[in-house]
Amino acid sequence: MKTKIAVFFGGRSTEHEISVISANQAMHAINKDKYEVIPVYITKQGKWYTGDALMDVANYRDTKSLLAKCREVYMRPVYGDYKLYTVKKPLFGSDVLTELDVVIPVLHGSNGEDGTFEGILDSIGIPYAGCGVLASANGMDKITMKMILQASGIPVVDYVWFTDKQWAKQKDSLIAEIEEKIGYPAIVKPANLGSSVGIGRATDRQQLIERVEDARHYSTRIIVEHMVEHLQEINCSVLGDCDDYITSVLEEPIKSGEILSYEDKYMGGSKGAKGMQASQKRIPADLPDAETARIRFLAGETFRVLSCHGVSRVDMIIDRDNRNIYVNEINTIPGSLSFYLWEATDIPFDVLMDRLVSLALKRKRDAATKTVSYDQNIFSLGGGVKGGTKGKFGTK
């Protein structure tokens, strides 16, 4: 019997289309002698569909006719139930379409890469590839992520963060703090968006206010960072788990211009940010050996301290003026699953997918060795019931 892998993709995210491409690349790379692949497409409205027609990117031009060829499905949020059910029950026979062994989430951005979907999978108890809830949520939030990295001695640019309501109440003191700690130019970002939406640079106070007002449309949490004006961007993928991982060769995404091209990038829609295969890149990046080694080390450290799992991509910024290196962000479900970096590191795409499955199964086995202490019925011990909710057990 082949192991049944469900690849989940699409989703309620600004990076929905990129996810469709990444997932299709991944599904085609999976070794079909060993595995059976079940595509599960999550629509922009949040409904789940499966069907062979989902395995061809060309079909997504007309989603209505695509979905007409598919079946709407769901899983029950019940621990241990790995079945995929059809929404429309057949007149005769079962509504169980198949039973899954492993899930590979290829959902970029919100409602996927942020831990929410991973939480569903944990509730069900099914093994899945990639980061768990904690690492996904921490990796998605640019504020929490930078706090953890900073506390771990990993270099990040200076930043100030606040909520939209704080800004409304104490704008003047926040501006003073930003000007003192960061100065201009600064870069303003909504904390938890997966694409470049809402990001902008500010060269003076007026622009800072405008940029923050813009970012407030997208998120309740906002981060203002020191802007590295002459930067070189370098990315590195990491594969494994936080106790045992390897790093890939480095890529340098090539942009059309320098600083001014940011605006183009931000206005240019959701593409580009995820490093899809189509965008220009130099692999391996042309850097001195010592810098390459340092960047690979920092990428691994970032993966480790955030307790990551599976395949991530860590994006760095080098300041060309002084060669300082900063970790900018981690993508816990990177575009194309960073397969092109692994190919350049002598790990073919099918082997990458194989490793993700093995890692998922290993994590499940490891979890099974941990003691779960809720087997005992505390009520059966007596005492607790008599005292009602104020009894001796009611202290938590």
Under the binding rule (CB under 6 A), the answer on residue 187 touching ligand ADP is yes
Under the binding rule (CB under 6 A), the answer on residue 315 touching ligand ADP is yes
Range in contact with ligand ADP (rule: CB under 6 A) among 48-56, 132-140, 189-197, 348-356: 189-197
Q: How far apart are the first and last CA of the chain?
A: 47
Under the binding rule (CB under 6 A), the answer on residue 140 touching ligand ADP is no
Under the binding rule (CB under 6 A), the answer on residue 233 touching ligand ADP is yes
Shortest Å distance, C-beta 272 to ligand ADP: 8
Under the binding rule (CB under 6 A), the answer on residue 114 touching ligand ADP is no
Shortest Å distance, C-beta 351 to ligand ADP: 27
Under the binding rule (CB under 6 A), the answer on residue 199 touching ligand ADP is yes
Q: 164: helix, coil or strand?
A: helix
Quick check: 283 and 344 in contact, CB under 8 A? yes
Range in contact with ligand ADP (rule: CB under 6 A) among 164-172, 188-196, 372-380, 385-393: 188-196
Under the binding rule (CB under 6 A), the answer on residue 327 touching ligand ADP is no
DSSP state of 1: -
Give the type of residue at 370. Answer: K
Under the binding rule (CB under 6 A), the answer on residue 50 touching ligand ADP is no
List the one residue out of 237, 20, 216 whose CA is nearest residue 112. Answer: 20
75-78 contacts at long range (C-beta below 8 A, 24 or more positions apart): 75/120, 75/124, 76/124, 77/120, 77/123, 77/124, 78/124
Interface map 283-312 toward ligand ADP (x if CB under 6 A) = ------------------------------
Quick check: 342 and 312 in contact, CB under 8 A? no
Helix H or strand E encompassing 73:
strand 71-74
Query: Which CB sits closer to ligand ADP, 262 or 339?
Result: 262
Under the binding rule (CB under 6 A), the answer on residue 357 touching ligand ADP is no
Dihedral pair phi/psi, residue 185, rounded to 5°: -75, 150
DSSP state of 2: P
Give the type of residue at 51. Answer: G
Under the binding rule (CB under 6 A), the answer on residue 110 touching ligand ADP is no
Per residue, what are the HEC states of 268-279? CCCCCCCCCCCC
- Of 23, 37, 145, 157, the residue at the interface with ligand ADP (CB under 6 A) is 157
Quick check: 329 and 159 in contact, CB under 8 A? no
Q: Residue numbers of the site for ligand ADP (CB under 6 A)?
A: 157, 187, 189, 194-196, 199, 225-228, 231, 233, 262, 273, 315, 317, 328-329
